[in-house]
Structure 1
Amino acid sequence: MHRSDAPFVSVIIPVFNDGERLQQCLAALAQQTYPRSRFEIIVVDNGSDDLAGLKTLVTAYDNATLVVETRPGSYAARNRGLAVAKGEVIAFTDADCVPAVDWLERGVARLSQDPNCGLVVGRINLFFADPQHPTAVELFESLTAFPQEQLLRDHHGGATANAITWRRVIDQVGPFDMQLKSNGDLEWGQRVFEAGFQQVYADEVQVDHPARRLLRELYQRTVRLAGGYYEVQLKQAKSLGQRQRMFVQALLKNLVPPVFFVVNAFGDGRLKNLNQKLKVSLVMVMVRYISAWEVVRLKLGRTSSRV
């Protein structure tokens, strides 16, 4: 695409202590087929230890800008990016993502197909550090992480690792809820849906994302997602009784053994042998109980995690 009338795009990328992978993300954006003069990159630091290093990295790209958001949380960071964005189109990705070279071109084309389209959610491809020797956590992630099409169908939203919208849509439905540490992308997508905009899953609009490798990394993600989902549910509750029921439902959902997941895992051709199937099933059990404990922790008045 080399048209001077291409919509101007603002790509917003929050970052927190992830300069090495941000460099890969920026390098991929520098190779985009979308006209370089028609998009800007806004990197939003959210409390990284090496701000000077990030500034050096970002300023190496002539269409990239670094801004700072001191309030912790990726949604606060994205809102900070929105405050300075100049684009008619807003594209969200994450510092650890590697967008395909035609990510913006395909994303903007899909967004522009229908004048009432309010959100394009694209595919997120997971990759392993060592494809020949994936860890149990990587295998688990490959089966469960970022099911964009399912998220859009069931929750009317998608992960902001790969989401594109019009600025006018954000102006109408409002920015992200900064109080949420996770699931804020789904909560925002629900508002887009309720406002009557069309939402599209576009398999051809792709970014790559590294699968988490270690149990520690999966633990952090599980705590963040469980807390975010529970907080969204509480926000929607209108009475003390509803909040109590949501607590019980969330607890029971995670305490029930994941029988269907285990059955599906044993029949999934992506898992090559019995050892992989057993390991992934055990990881799923662990995730369920970590989630249950996080719900109890939040019920006792603790705060949700940002990492």
Structure 2
Amino acid sequence: MTSVPRISVVVPHYNDLERLDRCLGALCAQTMPRDAYEIIVADNNSPCGIAAVEQVVAGRARIVTAMTPGAGPARNAGAEAAGGEILAFTDSDCVPDAAWLERGVAALGRGGDFIGGGMKVLVPGGRPMSGAEAFETVFAFDNERYVKRLHFTVTANLFCPRALFLKVGPFRTAVSEDNEWCWRARAMGFSIGYAADAIVGHPARADWAQLKGKWRRICAERYALSRDGGASALKWIGKTWLELPAIPVHALRILTDRRVPSVGERLSALGTLAAIRLWRFVEGHRIVLRGGGHAA
């Protein structure tokens, strides 16, 4: 590249070489001219070793290393190394659509000071969906709702000017970083917008173990964020009790969602819905009993 690109795409990575390769392939196939953007892979000290990461990257991106564990520190390292005036964040297990960059950047300023794009759940074809996959197809990554009602975007699909990122500050650790960063930005007077056509695909969790692992992390981060914001443990427990009456309400969504086509897949999704809500009910109490506290 003969000049500094206008956009820096930041991709945190940890020991997921196959999906990183697919993500980079999608990023290199964008409709935007290749010299308009750079790609920065922020490797989180992957056990596979930097040589393996370099082999997969194969010159398609710059690599920076973040030694502090966590996707937040990796994103911060990538943003710090960025040269572009616009930052575009996605994840190494994601597959951005070909027009993702073009449409996300176009929405900046027009739709908000920072932008969350559309998300779609990716499920392998050629076989029935597992209960976890069907559940995630219905409920995971509803970024339009996150942006318009909850006022945050997932960090797998976030666009912001680099100057704005520097004003707001880096992502934090041990909390729900996407929520916290976006709410911090809004508290400073910046507006969030939604770009439905700037789409990133994210693979569904394949099985119960993966789904439970995801929610164990999310529950811990949400509790830390809640306590950090001054909410009491009693208030957290009260919200935890809402997990149970939500089961029949969300069951209706499964039964009416055409993305889950067969009766068997819907029954699997219903079983997963009941199981994960009950698990989250119990886990919510366990977090308090374990004495989880304020975030770092």
TM-score, structure 1 as length reference: 0.88
Judge conservation of contact 2:157–2:200 (CA < 8 Å) in 1.
yes
2:84 matched to 1:87? yes
**Cα distance in 2 between the residues matched to 1:110 and 1:257:** 34
Letter aligned with residue 257 of structure 2: D
Match of residue 7 from structure 2: 9
Match of residue 56 from structure 2: 57
Among 100, 124, 129, the alignment partner of 1:134 is: 129
Letter aligned with residue 87 of structure 1: G
Match of residue 33 from structure 2: 35
2:249 matched to 1:260? yes
- Which segments of 5 or more consecutive residues in structure 1 lack a partner in the other structure? none
**Cα distance in 1 between the residues matched to 2:267 and 2:107:** 40
**Cα distance in 2 between the residues matched to 1:53 and 1:93:** 21
Letter aligned with residue 128 of structure 2: H
User: SS at 1:205's partner residue?
Assistant: strand
Judge conservation of contact 1:137–1:212 (CA < 8 Å) in 2.
yes
User: SS at 2:98's partner residue?
Assistant: coil
Runs of 4+ with deviation above 6 angstroms:
4-7
Letter aligned with residue 115 of structure 2: V
Change (3 A) 1:9 1:16: same
Per the TM alignment, residue 215 of structure 1 is displaced from its structure 2 partner at its CA by 1.2
Change (3 A) 1:83 1:295: same
**Cα distance in 2 between the residues matched to 1:121 and 1:273:** 32
2:44 matched to 1:46? yes
Q: State the number of aligned residues.
A: 291
User: SS at 2:113's partner residue?
Assistant: strand
Q: Which range moves more in the overlay, 143-152 or 126-135?
A: 126-135
**1:49-72 deviations in Å (ceiling 9; x for gaps):** 1122012222432xx111111211
Judge conservation of contact 2:5–2:83 (CA < 8 Å) in 1.
no
Match of residue 192 from structure 1: 185
Judge conservation of contact 1:230–1:250 (CA < 8 Å) in 2.
no
Per the TM alignment, residue 295 of structure 1 is displaced from its structure 2 partner at its CA by 2.5
Match of residue 26 from structure 1: 24
Judge conservation of contact 2:128–2:265 (CA < 8 Å) in 1.
no
Judge conservation of contact 2:237–2:284 (CA < 8 Å) in 1.
no
2:94 matched to 1:97? yes
Per the TM alignment, residue 303 of structure 1 is displaced from its structure 2 partner at its CA by 6.6
**Cα distance in 2 between the residues matched to 1:129 and 1:157:** 28
Per the TM alignment, residue 142 of structure 1 is displaced from its structure 2 partner at its CA by 0.5
Per the TM alignment, residue 131 of structure 1 is displaced from its structure 2 partner at its CA by 4.8
User: SS at 2:88's partner residue?
Assistant: strand
Q: Which range moves more in the overlay, 136-145 or 52-61?
A: 52-61
Per the TM alignment, residue 221 of structure 1 is displaced from its structure 2 partner at its CA by 0.8
Letter aligned with residue 11 of structure 2: I
Match of residue 215 from structure 1: 208
Per the TM alignment, residue 95 of structure 1 is displaced from its structure 2 partner at its CA by 0.5
Among 162, 168, 183, the alignment partner of 2:163 is: 168
Per the TM alignment, residue 300 of structure 1 is displaced from its structure 2 partner at its CA by 3.2
Per the TM alignment, residue 5 of structure 1 is displaced from its structure 2 partner at its CA by 11
Letter aligned with residue 103 of structure 1: W
Match of residue 144 from structure 1: 139
**Cα distance in 2 between the residues matched to 1:269 and 1:34:** 33
**Cα distance in 1 between the residues matched to 2:286 and 2:190:** 37
Change (3 A) 1:123 1:293: same
User: SS at 2:108's partner residue?
Assistant: helix
**Cα distance in 2 between the residues matched to 1:5 and 1:50:** 33
- Sequence identity (%): 32
User: SS at 2:276's partner residue?
Assistant: helix
**1:192-232 deviations in Å (ceiling 9; x for gaps):** 22222222111110112221211111111111112222211
Over the aligned positions, Cα root-mean-square deviation in angstroms equals 2.2
Judge conservation of contact 2:233–2:288 (CA < 8 Å) in 1.
no
User: SS at 1:300's partner residue?
Assistant: helix
Match of residue 283 from structure 1: 272
**Cα distance in 1 between the residues matched to 2:10 and 2:135:** 28
2:65 matched to 1:72? no
**Cα distance in 1 between the residues matched to 2:268 and 2:177:** 31
TM-score, structure 2 as length reference: 0.91
Change (3 A) 1:193 1:19: same
